[in-house]
Each structure stands twice: as structure tokens, then as C-alpha cells.
Amino acid sequence: MMTKKTEENIFKVLMVLSTSIIICGFLLIMGSVLIKGLPTLSIEMLTEVPQGGYYFGKGGGILNAIVGSLYLSLGATFLAFIVALPVSLFMNVYLINKNKLLNVIRYLLDLLWGVPSIVYGAFGFIIMVYFGLRTSLLAGIITVALFVIPIMIRAMDEVFKTVPRGLIEVAFSLGSTKSETAFKVFFKQVIPSVVTAVLLSFGRAIGDAASILFTTGYTDSIPTSLLEPTATLPLAVFFQLSSPIPEVQNRAYASALVLILIILIISLLARIISNKNNLKKFNIKNAVNKRFIYYKNIRNNYNLSYKKRRKSQQ
Amino acid sequence: MKATETEIKINNLNVFHGNHHTLKNINIEIPKQKITVILGSSGCGKTTLLKCLNRLTDLYSNIKVNGEIIINGEDILHSKEDITNIRRKMGLLSQMPYPLPMNIYNNIAYGLKISGRKKKKYLNKRVEYYLKQINLWEEVKDRLKDPASSLSLGQQQRLCLARGLTVDPNIILADEPTSALDPVSSNAIEELFLNLKQHYTTVLVTHTLRQAKRIADYVVFMYLGEIIEQGPADEFFNNPKMEKTKSYLRGTSN
């Protein structure tokens, strides 16, 4: 009896310990970034591009990196979505009866998920050299998309796996083709969770530094075309932190804070959107439709009684 | 029995799940516009048999189907015709209601839309027609734009039945359609089946003997993947020939 109780206690201590380590880690990271970054963070930093001498502590901001990062990660997420959605639907609707093949595909995707992002960067670099591209937003978007695609496919795959088999059977038995089943039934059933999968990938895309080191380059201006190099927040952190000047180092922390805030906002949005009830609250279309039906019923009733009256008159 | 036409003819059907022999030498002639009940305890292959009829077995890995299922003179297991056309001739009602992730109106209209009929006036008329056929119109006519999942389970199951009818099938396949429902909703479904009988051939899988007695015209009794006995309902219930059937009828009827 005693041993059971001690066993229980040991595991309890372990659980509390590991949970508190995670919470402490989070608080320490947020704390150090806030302490070092918050005093430096200013409106100027968010709304201006670097002026001359910015990296020696003179005026300017990191708007170039903020905008660049958003361009890059939005572009990459969009590109990845276009590829990942069909692939994950294909896996779950077309290959539904090919378990062995599916296991192989899932295993490969998990491997790709585990490949370090610097390897994607190196691969992207090879492609760029082959096509004679210079470091540019386009090259960065493609590289980051490659790196995010396996993550997004697997995330969506896990979502689609939760669709009940019965619903698929129903869709097929109504005579839907496979593509109708995929897009009209499957995709619709789990839209909120798909949104979560996309935003998860967005978080990975915006936070990664290694894959864009060689491919997007860095510049002090906001890019005006896909073929220009662009600044990004992770690299802004990297460059400013490697400066010997303390003021510039603090700016690195402020940039990190901005990056964290963007990710925080995005994941909050994900939470809100993926919660079906919240979605319903915002469903204005539904309310309008209800009104519409209400009036239509009145009109129909009137028409009916009108027709009746006419008949009786005749 | 000979007087009625045969809708589905199953010849020497064998199904294997991996090495497991799930269905053994099934031969049935399912009569047209009657309710055929496939009766048996859980795990005897009733559902598998039903899934063979519209080839939902295609969706499972590791399953092998041998034999013939002849509908309208054509063997659907080896047919060259598009499987979606074959499936469209059969409405399916599963154990749990699975409403499509749309509103009530579109749940009914979906089947019409995917077969290419998109005129709004026509759709409105048909949706009303089908909802009336399953006695759901009065309950939902004011909230057609609500998600179908907001209906009660019994209403959802009736909605699913109506949805199955929209593609104008000749056959209704029902897999224990009342097992998740309360007695009142079950009765409603059973009554619907009796009403629809004159237009559709119904194949109903069930493990409740009383339900089979209430609605069956023709009974197929299965045990561990084999057909033990089949015949018209009167004969089957009042004068069973096989020992296993007798004990099954005795075991559950008291």
C-alpha cells in the first residue's frame, strides 16, 4: 500500500515540477524581452524605416522588418495553403482505402517536418543559383513555403482524420464525386480547425530565421516588388543583437517583442475563429437570412390568400 | 414469393477482411418494393453486407469482395459504369444521423444540386416536398437556414432519410437506423418506412427482433457471416425451419 502511495507522490512532484519549469521558462523569456525591449520600444520604431546610422544608435525604426516579415509569412502561408489543402484532402478522401501508402506518406511528411530550417535555406539557395535569382522576397516566400508545407499538411491531415467515416459514406452514397465530397463536405465540416492549422503554420513562417538568411537577404527599405530583397524581424533581431552598442542591442529586444506580439495576436485570432460558438456570434449573414425568410413567408401567405379569393370570386 | 419481382440479386458473395472470412456464400433475392430485413446479432456481417450493396466497401483498405450483386441486370461489383451513378440509385441511412455541415435547406438540396439541378424555384419546391414526405416540414419550415446539427437526433435522422430520397433512388439501405433514437422517433422512422414501401425497395439491417416483426416483408437471418434462414416474414416468424432460428426467436422474444 505504501509503495503505491509513494509512487503516486513521486509522479505528482514530477508533474508539478515539469509544469512549473515550462511556466518559468515562458515568464523568464517574456520578462527579459519586456525589461530590455519595452523601454526602447517607441512609436518611431514601429513607424519608420532605419535612418542613416541606425545601427550605430541613431534614429529610425524597424518598419521595414515588420512589413517584410508580414509580406514574407503571409505570402508563404498562402502559397503553402494552396498546396497543403489539396494534398491533405487527397490523402483523406482519395487514398482513404490505401492505409499502407498513407502511412508511408505521413512518415515522409513527419521526416520533412523534422528537417532543420537551415537545410531548407540551403536548398532554396541552390534553386536560386540555378535560376539565377538574387536574394529576394520571392525566393524567401518559396523557401519558407517549402518549409511550412509539411507542417501544414500534417496539421490539416490530423484535422481531417477526425471527420467521421459515416459522413464520408453518406456523401458518397448521395452520389457525390470525390472532389465534391472533399470540398463541399469534408472541408466545410472542419473549417475552424483548418484555420487553426493555417495559423499554426503562419507562426512557424514568421518566426523562422535560418531559412531566410540566404534567400531573402536584408535591406533598409520596404520592398516594392517580389524580386527585391526584404528585411525580416528574426534577422532584425539577429543583426541588432550582434552589435556591440548596448542601445542597439536593446532595440533587438524591442524587435523580438514586436515579433512575439504579432504571433500572440495571430494565435489569439486562431483561438477565436476556431471556436465555433464565437463564429456563430459574428454570423450576420444568418440573421439577415432569417429576416428575409420571415418577410417571404408573409408575402407567400398573402399571395396564397389572394389566389384563394380570386378563385372564389370566379 | 414468386409473384413479386426481384430488385437485387446477390450470388455467391464472399467478403474477406484480411484473413478473416466475414461473409460466406451469401445468396439472396431481395424483392422489389418490399421491406427486407436483415436480422442477426452484432458482428455477424449485416453491416458489411449492406455496404457491399452500394460498394462503400471501396472505402476500406484490406477488404476483398468476391461474387455478384445484380441490380437491373448489371453486376455492380464488376460494373464499368461510374460508381457514383450506381450509388445514386440507393439512399443510405446510417446508424447515427450524419447531417452534412450545412443548413437544413441545403442538406436536402445538396443531392439535387450535385446532380445538376440548380434552379432556385425548383429547389424550393423539392425541398418542401421531401420535408413533407418525412413529416418534418411543419417542424422546420421557419428555420430552414439553421444548421442541421441544431435539430434533435430523431429529426436529424428523418432529415437524413429525406436527403437520401432526393437523388431519386430505387432502393433505401438502412443500417440500424433507429438504434440511436428514442422510442417515439423510432416509431416515426418505422412508419416512414411503411409509407415509403410502395415506392422504394427497402433493405433494413437491425438486431431488434420486435422491429423486424413490425415492418418486415421478407427476412434474412444471419449468424457469423452465414445466412441461416431466409423467407417471407409470416413463414419466418411463425414457422422457422432451422434450429438456430428457433432458438434465436425464442431467446429474444420473451
Q: Going residue by residue through chain B (254 aa), what tens digit of pLDDT does each one get?
A: 445 777 788 888 888 888 888 888 888 888 888 888 888 877 788 888 888 888 888 888 888 888 888 887 788 887 777 788 888 888 888 888 888 888 888 888 888 888 777 788 888 888 888 888 777 888 888 888 888 888 888 888 888 888 888 888 888 888 888 887 788 888 888 888 888 888 888 888 888 888 888 888 888 888 888 888 888 888 888 888 887 778 877 775 43
Residue A286 lies in a domain: no
Average pLDDT over residues A201-212: 88
Distance CA(A181)–CA(A174), nearest Å, equals 10
A51 touches chain B (CB under 8 A): no
State the pLDDT at residue A310: 66
Question: Which contiguous run of DSSP H or E holds residue A235?
Answer: helix A233-241
Bridge partners of residue B230, in order along the sequence: B220
Contacts with B88 from chain A: Cβ below 8 Å: 174-175
Specify the number of domains making up chain A: 1
Is position A1 within any domain?
A: no
Which pLDDT belongs to residue A152? 93
**Pairing, β B201-206 against β B218-223:** unpaired
Q: B87–A97: do the CB atoms touch at under 8 Å?
A: no
Whether residue A135 lies inside any domain: the answer is yes
A99/B88 touch (CB, cutoff 8 Å), yes or no: no
Tell whether A48 lies on the interface with B, counting CB pairs under 8 A: no
Query: Which chain A positions have a beta carbon within 8 Å of B100's beta carbon?
Result: 167, 170-171, 184-185, 188
Helices (H), A242-283: 246-274, 276-281
- Percent of chain A exceeding pLDDT 70 equals 86
Instruction: Identify the domain containing residue B164 by its residue range.
Output: 6-253
- Name B68's bridge partners: B11
What pLDDT was estimated at residue A73? 93
By C-alpha distance, the chain B residue nearest A296 is B142
Residue A262 within any structural domain of the chain: yes
Residue of A nearest to B95 (CA): A166
**pLDDT grade, residue A291 (50/70/90)?**
low
Q: Report if residue B248 sits inside a domain.
A: yes
Q: What percentage of chain A reaches a pLDDT higher than 90?
A: 32
- Asked if A304 is an interface residue toward chain B (Cβ–Cβ < 8 A), one would say no
Domain with residue A156: its CATH number is 1.10.3720.10
Q: For residue A258, how far is the Cα from the chain centroid?
A: 17
How many contiguous H segments (helices) and E segments (strands) does chain A have?
15, 0
Tell the residue number behind the cell numbers 409470416, with chain if given: B234
Per residue in A220-277, pLDDT tens? 888 888 888 888 999 989 988 888 888 888 889 999 999 999 988 888 887 777 665 5
- Residue pair B220/B70 in contact by the 8 Å Cβ criterion: no
The CATH number that applies at residue B156 is 3.40.50.300
Domain-embedded: residue B26: yes
Q: Rounded mean pLDDT of A95-124?
A: 91
Q: How far apart are CA B188 and CA B172, in angstroms?
A: 16
Confidence of residue A296 (pLDDT cuts 50, 70, 90): low
Domain that holds residue A111: 44-51+59-277
Of B62, B92, B95, the CB nearest to A173: B92
pLDDT by residue (tens digit) across A116-175? 999 999 999 998 888 888 888 999 999 999 999 999 999 999 988 888 888 888 888 887
**Cβ–Cβ contact A188 with B under 8 A:** yes
B1 domain-assigned: no
Q: How far apart are CA A174 and CA A188, in angstroms?
A: 17
Closest approach of chain A CAs to the CA of B96, in angstroms? 8
Which of A289, A137, A283, A268 shows the shortest CA–CA distance to A195? A268
The alpha-carbon gap from B59 to the nearest alpha carbon of chain A, in Å, equals 5
Hey, how many other C-beta atoms are within 10 angstroms of the C-beta on A293? 16
Domain-embedded: residue A156: yes
Q: Which residue has the cell 428555420?
A: B143
* Chain A nearest CA to B86, separation (Å): 8
Total domains present in chain B:
1
Q: Is the pLDDT of residue A56 over 90?
A: no
Alpha carbons A94 and B41: distance in angstroms, whole number: 33
A49 backbone dihedrals φ, ψ, rounded to 5° = -85, 165
B154 lies in a domain? Answer: yes
Q: What is the pLDDT of residue A5?
A: 87
The per-residue pLDDT for A97 is 84
